[in-house]
């Protein structure tokens, strides 16, 4: 091709002269005339000819620059294969390396501290500040908490494992400079950041009598260090995993939360025994008998003094409250339930009250006649004369035919449709106690007992939404059901007296028949206590009504039971393990040049080993390589070789190289 001139071939003699440029006997002028000039050098030469002979400083700078350029070209001509690596020199300074180790490790430690602080903060947030009054958690809250803690625990475990792995990758270089190793152990130390390699290293370095492959390369030092590091790794991961054992979420004994769903409430449409709740018709007598039975079931329920409305009640037992004084009543507070029987005490309540009048029995005979509601006349029945107030005319009261027991108290309740009604939700009750035993006189008390409407304490009526009128009447108890409940103490369902009256006789050993002469205040308490008990028992385990799609469906809440002592111990142990490991790393690892974790960097270091294998065996496994005949009996180490061009980190061979067990010297390395 025209205008193209081939480059001259390399002249070995010329190259040798270039290699001696630094010799004292070569002058600058000789040097200048020897080097073929490039375009830049020609420019420099023209520039130097313009300098004044007296300008010695300019001449010296020119010499320095020309000498540097020639030296670089000389090195390039000698190492043309590695021309891209000419400027890749490493300056080793143990202080700078120590700082690099510290800042890298301290950053990882800060992340561990931040994650531990986040775990503790999350526990405080979800448990509440006061462990005696823990925060109530819904299912959704528990799921969010579990997801959060799983994420934090995983992040903590990953960061801790990553930190310890990076520590091992740093420490291995210092360890490899301390003694000669077989190729197998050398390989295991290079991979000691992995738990499998670490366990294998501990296995083969067993320092006591060899058993099979165990103790193949005995070394107390390597075995102790490997076992210690393995223990550190396992302890750290066990500590992270054990954290979750000490913040269990357990069902709250008393805590109830509300959610949208179906609500189960007592069905006060009528008084009925539970086993007959599905029957379409229950007559008055059967309803009265059922009301009496519910009242008897409640005679041992818990009683507490009334101190004002309390919205929270122990859901483990049924409680009602008694108020004495000028306004006497018994109060019961209703609960709603979820379909799985979770309780929620509500604002709804009902009260039982009564007014009673005690009469003096003046005369009693047994030759009276009495006509029942069916117009049947009974002869020779008991009757007595009584007076209401002193100075008032006497009143006659005829007792129905009955087998009166001396000293026993008999309650006679009028049905809601009787001839002498006392008002809505009210029952008329006559109570008679004939003398006998410790009862020295006949006693007679007449009461009007009332069950109030079911009300909301805060008058908001917000327990239910979109409630149909027929369902509301069943929940809030109609007038007839309330009248039956008020007179429940005197209803039995088997009276021979017709349609309007019923009577129940209690013998003196029963609670409702005191072994003393009855009085009006005593009967007020007995009648209302029995009535409120019937309501409570019916609400507790009577027929239920499912109200769909309500906003206040109760659900079981959960609380965190955090064992703070163990949490602090484990968190402190995790941070302590990483902190101590970092300190020991800075003390023992800063002895050698630390290569990065790149596979290429490691391949460059191991090139002298691989070269001995030749170009064959590209599919050899690691075990095949370390067991190759060419390496039989060979031991290697990581160290420094001094060459004509400076220090170089390399693989040292026992017998051919000298191993210095001291720290690497500060300086420039290839």
- What's the pLDDT tens digit per position in 388-399? 655 666 666 666
Min mean pLDDT across 98-102, 380-384, 532-536 is at 380-384
Query: pLDDT digit string (tens) for 204-250?
Result: 988 887 776 787 888 888 999 999 999 999 999 999 999 999 999 88
Q: What is the pLDDT of residue 495?
A: 65
| 603 CB-contact burial (10 Å; exposed 0-12 / middle 13-18 / buried 19+) | exposed
Please report the pLDDT score of residue 75 as a whole number: 40
Whether residue 591 is predicted with pLDDT greater than 60 in this model: the reply is: yes
CB 202 within 8 A of CB 227: yes
Q: Which tens digits make up the pLDDT trace of 612-633?
A: 888 877 888 888 888 888 888 8
Backbone angles phi, psi at 303, to 5 degrees: -115, 140
State pTM to two decimals: 0.62
- What pLDDT was estimated at residue 123? 94
Over residues 7-25, the pLDDT tens digits come to 344 444 333 333 333 334 4
- The closest of 275, 329, 276, 286 to 491, measured between CA atoms, is 286
Q: Can you name the residues that pair with 640 across neighbouring β-strands? A: 649
What percentage of the chain reaches a pLDDT higher than 90?
31
Q: Angle, nearest 10°, between helix axes 479-486 and 284-297?
A: 60
Give the 3-state secondary structure of residue 212: coil
Q: Residue 358: helix, strand or coil by DSSP?
A: strand
In angstroms, rounded to a whole number, what is the distance separating the alpha carbons of residues 337 and 556?
Answer: 10
Residues 6 or more apart whose CB falls under 8 angstroms from that of 407 comprise 433, 434, 435, 436, 437, 438, 439, 508, 513, 515
Cβ partners under 8 Å of residue 148, min gap 6: 122
CA distances from 415 to 157, 512, 535 (A): 75, 20, 18
pLDDT over 80 at 261, yes or no:
yes
**Residue 552's pLDDT band (cuts 50, 70, 90):** confident
Confidence grade of residue 313 (pLDDT, cut at 50, 70, 90) = very low
Q: Is a pLDDT exceeding 60 seen at residue 441?
A: yes
Looking at residue 240, its pLDDT comes to: 95
> 264 forms bridges with which residues in the sheet?
337, 546
Q: Where are the domains of the chain?
A: 12-85, 92-247+563-597, 262-557
Q: Which of 15-19, 198-202, 286-290, 626-630 has the lowest mean pLDDT?
A: 15-19
Rounded to a whole number of angstroms, the CA Rg of the chain reads: 51
d(CA 259, CA 36): 92
β-bridge pairing 635-643 and 646-653: antiparallel
Helix H or strand E encompassing 222: helix 220-243
**Does the pLDDT of residue 484 top 90, yes or no?**
yes
Provide CB contacts within 8 A for 522, sequence distance 6+: 514
pLDDT(322) > 70: yes
pLDDT tops 70 at residue 142: yes
Query: What was the pLDDT predicted at 394?
Result: 65
Query: What are the residues whose beta carbons fall under 8 Å from the beta carbon of 345, sequence distance 6 or more?
Result: 311, 312, 313, 315, 333, 334, 335
Instruction: Give long-range contacts, CB 8 A cutoff, 24+ apart: 121-130.
Output: 122/148, 122/149, 122/152, 123/247, 123/560, 123/562, 123/567, 126/560, 127/247, 127/559, 127/560, 127/562
């Amino acid at each position: 091709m025209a205008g193209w001139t081939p480059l001259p071939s390399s002249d070995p003699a010329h190259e040798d002269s270039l290699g001696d440029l630094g010799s004292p006997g070569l002058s600058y002028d000789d040097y200048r005339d020897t080097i073929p000039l490039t375009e830049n050098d020609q420019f420099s030469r023209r520039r130097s000819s313009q300098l004044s002979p007296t300008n010695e400083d300019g001449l010296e700078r020119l010499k320095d620059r020309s000498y540097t350029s020639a030296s670089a070209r000389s090195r390039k001509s000698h190492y043309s294969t590695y021309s891209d690596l000419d400027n890749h020199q490493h300056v080793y300074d143990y202080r700078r390396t120590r700082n690099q180790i510290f800042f890298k490790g301290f950053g990882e430690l800060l992340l561990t501290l931040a994650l531990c602080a986040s775990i503790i903060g999350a526990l405080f947030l979800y448990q509440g500040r006061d462990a005696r009054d823990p925060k109530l958690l819904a299912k959704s809250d528990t799921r969010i908490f579990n997801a959060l803690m799983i994420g934090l625990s995983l992040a903590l475990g990953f960061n801790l494992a990553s930190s310890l792995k990076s520590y091992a990758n740093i420490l291995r270089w210092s360890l490899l400079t301390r003694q000669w190793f077989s190729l197998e152990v050398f390989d295991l130390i290079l991979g000691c950041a992995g738990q499998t390699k670490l366990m294998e290293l501990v296995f083969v370095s067993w320092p006591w009598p060899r058993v099979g492959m165990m103790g193949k390369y005995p070394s107390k030092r390597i075995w102790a260090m490997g076992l210690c590091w393995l223990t550190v790794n396992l302890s750290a991961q066990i500590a992270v995993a054990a954290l979750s054992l000490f913040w269990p979420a357990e069902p709250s004994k008393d805590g109830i939360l509300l959610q949208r769903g179906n609500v189960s409430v007592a069905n006060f449409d009528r008084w009925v025994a539970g086993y007959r709740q599905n029957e379409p018709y229950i007559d008055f007598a059967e309803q009265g008998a059922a009301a009496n039975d519910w009242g008897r079931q409640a005679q041992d329920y818990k009683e507490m003094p009334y101190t004002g409305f309390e919205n929270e009640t122990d859901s483990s037992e049924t409680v009602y409250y008694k108020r004495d004084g000028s306004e006497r009543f018994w109060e019961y507070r209703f609960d709603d339930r979820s379909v799985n029987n979770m309780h929620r005490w509500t604002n709804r309540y009902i009260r039982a009250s009564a007014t009673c009048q005690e009469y003096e029995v003046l005369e009693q005979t047994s030759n009276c006649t009495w006509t029942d509601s069916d117009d049947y006349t009974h002869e020779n029945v008991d009757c007595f004369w009584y007076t209401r107030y002193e100075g008032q005319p006497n009143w006659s009261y005829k007792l129905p035919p009955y087998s009166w027991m001396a000293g026993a108290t008999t309650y006679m309740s009028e049905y809601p449709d009787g001839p002498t009604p006392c008002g809505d939700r009210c029952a008329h009750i006559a109570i008679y106690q004939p003398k006998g035993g410790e009862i020295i006189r006949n006693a007679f008390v007449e009461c009007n007992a009332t069950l109030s409407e079911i009300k909301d304490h805060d008058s908001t009526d917000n327990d239910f939404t979109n409630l149909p009128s027929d369902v509301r009447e069943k929940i809030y108890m109609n007038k007839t059901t309330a009248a039956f409940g008020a007179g429940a103490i005197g209803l039995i369902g088997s009276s021979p007296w017709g349609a309007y009256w019923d009577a129940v006789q209690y013998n003196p050993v029963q609670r409702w028949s005191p072994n003393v002469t009855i009085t009006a205040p005593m009967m007020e308490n007995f009648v209302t206590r029995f009535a409120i008990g019937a309501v409570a028992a019916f609400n507790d385990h009577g027929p239920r009504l499912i109200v769909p799609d309500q906003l206040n469906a109760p659900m079981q809440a959960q609380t965190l039971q955090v064992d703070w002592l163990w949490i602090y111990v484990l968190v402190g142990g995790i941070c302590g393990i990483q902190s101590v490991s970092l300190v020991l790393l800075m003390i023992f690892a800063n002895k050698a040049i630390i290569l990065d974790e790149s596979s290429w960097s490691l391949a460059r270091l191991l090139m002298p080993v691989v070269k001995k294998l030749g170009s064959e065996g590209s599919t050899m496994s690691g075990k095949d390589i370390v067991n190759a005949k060419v390496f039989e009996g060979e031991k290697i180490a990581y160290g420094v070789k001094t060459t004509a061009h400076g220090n170089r980190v390399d693989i040292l061979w026992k017998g051919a190289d000298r191993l210095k067990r001291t720290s690497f010297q500060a300086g420039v390395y290839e």
